[in-house]
Amino acid sequence: MFSKGRRKMRLHIRARNIELTETLKHYIERRLQFALGRFGRTIRQVTIRLSDVNGPRGGRDKSCHVEVRLIPDDRIIVGDTQSDLYAAINGAIERAVRAVSRQLARERERGTSRSVQRALSMLGEVVNLADPSKSNEN
């Protein structure tokens, strides 16, 4: 878990066929904080999935997938595969930053902020609860 300002982003790191050392965990946490920290208020959770696709055979097979869950409900998934695990981590995180930035820019262009979206969705649920006949209209 890492925090920026008032909001904490949950961080989950999963590894398959790779030893997940404390040094590697610390590197990922620092890299994510530096890269995604400015978006801290809009990110709910980040999941990192590391894998060694070919195992001991070697080659360009170190994979890193980053899943970013934004508030309220958007999800961004990006990845990178390299021969070096740290290069794959850096590449995937850079792609995640670009994808999050693009998504937030789209929302700004539409003129709908995340807090307004959340309020409208909660208001819709309240209205549907108050009048159950409205919930199935379409």
7-16 and 2-4 strand pairing: antiparallel
Is the C-alpha dihedral spanning 84, 90, 91, 96 positive or negative?
positive
pTM across the whole model: 0.73
The CATH number given to whatever domain includes residue 49 is 3.30.160.100
For residue 18, tell me if it sits in a domain: yes
Render pLDDT for 31-63 as a digit per residue (tens, 0 to 9): 999 999 998 888 999 999 999 987 766 666 899
**What's the total number of domains in the chain?**
1
Predicted confidence band of residue 67 (pLDDT cuts 50, 70, 90): very high
Domain of residue 6 covers: 2-132
Q: Which residue has the higher pLDDT, 124 or 105?
A: 105
2-4 and 43-52 strand pairing: unpaired
For residue 127, tell me if it sits in a domain: yes
Long-range contacts of 120-123 (CB under 8 A, 24+ apart): 121/72
Q: How many helices (H) and strands (E) does the chain have?
A: 3, 5
Q: Which residue has the higher pLDDT, 109 or 81?
A: 81
For residue 137, tell me if it sits in a domain: no
For residue 138, tell me if it sits in a domain: no
For residue 120, tell me if it sits in a domain: yes
